[in-house]
Chains A and B, each alone.
Chain A
Amino acid sequence: MTGPFTALGHALQRIAAMAAKEAAHIRRDPQTLAMALAMPVALLLLFGYGVTFDLEKLPVVAVDQDHTSVARSMVRSFSASRELVIAAELDSVEKGEALMREGRAVAVVVIPEGFSRALARGERTQLQLVVDGADATTALQTINKADAIASTALSLPVTTPGQGAARLVVDTWTLYNPAGRSALLLVPGLMAFILAMVCVLLTALTVAREWERGSMEQLFTTPIRRGELILGKLLPYVGLGILGVLLVLAVGAWVFGVPIRGSLLTLAVAALLFLIGMLAQGLFISVITKNQMVATQVGTLTSMLPIQILSGFIFPVANMPVPLQVVAQVMPATHFIAALRGILLRGNGLREQWQHLLALAAFALVMVVITSAKFRRRLD
C-alpha cells in the first residue's frame, strides 16, 4: 500500500542520506567549517569597525586672517570638537589647499580680516570654508559639523526675560538610534553581505569540485532524484549558515551594540529563507559552469559588488533610478537587509515584514527549482 506518505517518507529518507553524506564531507574538511563559522565573525569584527560613516578627527586647516582674540576663540572651538581637528594653522589659503591636495587636510577654514570688528558692529559675519569635494561624503559631514560649530561657538544665551517668545522651537526625537551611530545602519547590512558571500563561496566551490573530479557522475547512478539531491546537498550548509547567523548576531549585539528588539521568530524565518536562497544560488552557479575557474569568477562578480552597491547596504535604494530599484528588489540581500534593520532596530515582526519575507521565500523557491531543472538536463 504505497500511498503518498510512504513515497514522501522514501524521499525524505533519500534527502537525509544525501545530507548525511554531505555533512560527513564537511566534517572532514576543517576549512569549510572555518569558512562557515569563523570567517563571518572575523569579517564582521573587521568591517564593523572599518566601514562607518561616523567620521572623527577630520583634519582641518585654520587660516586666521583676523588675529584677534575673538578669532582665536573661534579657532579653539573648532579644535575642541570631537569630529574636527585642527591639523595646522597656516597663514594663507594656498598653503592650506596644498595640504588638501596631499590628502593631509579635508578643509580650510578661513577667518577673514575684520571678523571681530564686524561682529562687534552687529553685522552678519562670514567664515569661509574651502572643502575638498572629491570625497563628497566627507565634505558634506565636514560642512555640517563646521556649520554647527560656527553658528553656536560664539553664542551666548539671550538672558532677557521672555526669551522663548515668538520663536520657533523644534523638539527633535530620533527613534531607534538616538546616538546616531552609523554602526546600526551598516552592521545589519554587513551581516547580510558577509553571510551572502560565505554561502555563495561554500556551494559554488563544492559542486564544481565534484564535477571536476568526476564524482558527480557516480551520484547519478543512484536512485536519488534531482530535487532530493539538491535539497540534501543544501541542508548541512543551511545548518552551518544558521550557526553563522547566530554568531554574527551575537557579535553585532555585544561588540557593536546592535539590539535585537523585534520578533526572533520572524528573524529566524527570514534568515532561513535567505540562506536557502543564497546557497541554492551558489549551487546553481556551479551546476551551470563546470569549470571551476569560471564558476568562481562568475560567482564572485555576480555577488560581491552588486550586493555591496545595490542592496541598500551602503547606498539607499530609494535614491536609485527606478529600473535599478527593480533590480535591487530581485536580490534577496536587499530584502534581508531591510528585514534585519526592521526587526533588529525598529522592533518589527511578521506584520511589518511579511512582504520582505515573501520575497525571500519566492527567491529561494525559484532558485531550488531552476537548480533542480538544470541538473536534470545535465543527466540526459
Chain B
Amino acid sequence: MLPRWLIQLYAVALKEVRHTVRDRRMMALLLIAPAMQLGIFGLAVDFDVDRVPTVVVDHDQTTVSRQHLRRILADGTLVQRMVTASDAAAERAIDTGQMAAALVVPRGFERDLARGKAGHLQVVVDGTDPNRGSIAAAAVARYARIETRVAVQQALRGKISAARIGLALDAAAVPMASPSFPDVVLLPRVLHNPRLATSTYIVPGITALLLLVVTVIVTAMGLARERETGTLEQVMVTPMSPLVLLIGKLLPYVGIGLFDFLLALVVATAGFDVPIRGPLSVAFLGTTAYLTCTLGIGLLISTVSRTQQQAFIGGFLFLLPALLLSGVMTPLWGIPSWLLPVTKINPVKYYVEIVRGVLLKGSTFQDLSFHLGMLVAMGVLVLAFAAWRFQRSLA
C-alpha cells in the first residue's frame, strides 16, 4: 500500500509531462533550444584583444621608423589596416569607429635617436572600449620599455658608449642592472585555463543562464495559467496538499533541466574544449540543487501573481539581475559594496562557481560544499515559502 502523497506526486508529475509532450513548440524550446543557443553563444564570446585595427601615420619615413613600426606590429596585437600621411584623416578614422588606434611617428624620429635624444612614439587609442584601448597602448609601451632596457643593458655592458646614451657610468664597475634600474619581471602561471580562452569559462556560465531562463519562465507562468483557467480549484478540492502539488509540478522540469545540462556538457566538451577535471556527480548534484532553486523561485513568483502577465513580469524582474549580476559575463569584483548582498543571494553565482569548479579546477565535493549548501538552503527556503504562500492564497 503506497502512501497517498506518493501516488498524488506521481499523478501530478505525470500530468505535467503529458501537458508538455502535447505542445511540440514547448518541447523544442525546452529540450533543443538551450543546447543550440549554447553552441552559438560559445562561438560569439571572445575577450581577446588582438588584431586591433590601427592606422599608421609615419611622418618620418626612415629606415629606423619603419623598423620600429614593423616590430611593434609584429606580435599581432595591433594590425595595420590603414596608412595615411594626414593626422586629420587618422583622427577621423578613429572618430567613425573604423580604426581603434593610431600609431604616429613624428618627423625627425631617427635623427633624434641618432643624436642621443629620446625618440617619441605617439599612440592614440579609442577609449570607448577601455579594455581594448589599454591593452593596445600597453603593447606599445611594453615594446618601448623592452627596447629601452636592451639599450641600457648594452651600455652597461660596454657594448655601446655610455656617452651615446647619455649615462655617466663607470662601465666596468657597475653591474648589469643597478638597483636604481631594477629588472623585475612578473612570471604569471595561469591555473585551469592557461590560454585564458574566453569560451572556456564563459560557456559553463551561459549554461547556467540558459537553465535559468527556461525554468523560471515555465514555472512562473504554469501555475498562473492553472489559476486563470480554474483547474487549480478542482485540484484543491481533492485531498492533495499544496506542497505535493508544487513538488509534483517541479519534478518533470528537474528532469528536463538535467537533460539540458547533459546536452550542454556535450556541446561544451565537444565544441569548446571545456575539460572535465572534477567529479561529474558533483556537477549533477549542483544542477539538481540549482534547479530546485530556480524552479522554486518560479513557483514563488506564480503564487504571488494573480494573472499570467504579472507572473511573467515577476519572472522577468528576477531574471535580469540574476543574469547580469551573476559573475558570468562581467566579474563581480567591480561592484560597489551596497550591491554585494544581492549577489550573495543569487543562486546563479553559486551554481556557476560549482560548474566552473568541477569542470575547470577539478574541485571536489568538499571544495564546493559551501556552494552546494547555499543552493540547497535557498531551494528549500524558497519552496517552503512558496508552499506557504500558496496555501494562504487558497483560503
Chain A residues at the B interface, C-beta cutoff of 8 Å: 31, 35, 39, 43, 46-47, 49-58, 97, 100-103, 106, 119-140, 143-144, 146-147, 150-151, 153-178, 180-182, 184-186, 197, 201, 205, 209, 289, 292-294, 296-298, 300-301, 304-306, 308-310, 314-316, 318-321, 324, 327-328, 338, 341-342, 345-348, 352
Contact = CB atoms under 8 A, between A and B. Distances in A.
Nearest to A341: B128
Contact of B132 (A57, A306, A316): A316
Contacts of B197: 136
A165 to B, nearest CB: 3
A369 B152 CA distance: 69
A90 to B, nearest CB: 17
A201 B166 contact: no
A169 B121 contact: yes
B191 A180 contact: no
A172 B176 contact: no
11 contacts: A126-B184, A131-B189, A137-B47, A137-B330, A140-B47, A144-B134, A154-B184, A166-B164, A173-B123, A176-B127, A294-B23
A108 B282 CA distance: 27
Interface size on B, as a range, is 35 or more
Contact of A143 (B51, B130, B177, B186): B186
Given A137-B330, A169-B118, A129 B186 contact: yes
B73 interface: no
A162 B168 CA distance: 9
B118 A165 contact: yes
A301 B215 CA distance: 12
A46 to B, nearest CB: 6
Contact of B97 (A50, A53, A134, A352): A352
A52 B132 CA distance: 14
B3 interface: no
A136 B182 contact: no
A128 B25 CA distance: 54
B389 interface: no
B141 A304 contact: no
Contacts of A54: 334
Contacts of A133: 190-194, 196, 201, 360
Contacts of B185: 124-127, 150-151
Contact of B217 (A101, A296, A348): A296
B370 to A, nearest CB: 8
A104 to B, nearest CB: 11
B186 A151 contact: yes
Q: For the complex of A and B, list the 8 residue pairs with the smallest distance between their C-beta atoms, beginning with the closest.
A: A162-B166, A177-B127, A165-B166, A133-B193, A122-B175, A164-B118, A319-B46, A122-B177
B372 interface: no
Nearest to A324: B44
Contact of B333 (A46, A57, A101): A57
A304 B335 CA distance: 22
A134 to B, nearest CB: 5
Interface stretch (B259-267, B286-294, B314-322): B314-322
A129 B189 CA distance: 6
A58 B333 contact: yes
A134 B186 contact: no
A138 B43 CA distance: 20
B221 interface: yes
Nearest to B330: A51
Contact of A171 (B48, B120, B182, B313): B120
Given A184-B130, A185-B129, A320-B44, 13 more contacts: A58-B333, A135-B327, A160-B169, A161-B166, A167-B152, A175-B124, A185-B130, A305-B210, A309-B44, A310-B44, A319-B47, A346-B128, A348-B97
B319 A304 contact: yes
Contact of A176 (B122, B128, B138, B192): B128
Contacts of A139: 190, 193, 196
A165 B116 contact: yes
B137 A131 contact: no
B168 A308 contact: no
Contacts of A321: 43-44
Contacts of A39: 317
B200 interface: yes
Contacts of A156: 179-180
A127 B309 CA distance: 58
B108 interface: no
B68 interface: yes
B122 A182 contact: no
A101 B361 contact: yes
Contacts of B327: 135
Contacts of B68: 168
Contact of B176 (A123, A160, A328, A348): A123
Interface string B187-217: 1111111101110110000100110011001
Interface string B82-118: 0000000000001111000000000000000100111
Nearest to A173: B124
Contact of B130 (A146, A155, A181, A201): A181
B191 A126 contact: no
Interface string B284-326: 0000000000000000000000001100110011011101110
Contact of B324 (A50, A102, A205, A297): A50
B6 interface: no
Given A135-B201, A136-B196, A293 B221 contact: yes
B133 A174 contact: yes
B16 interface: no
A326 B119 CA distance: 43
B123 to A, nearest CB: 5
B41 interface: yes
Contacts of B125: 172-175
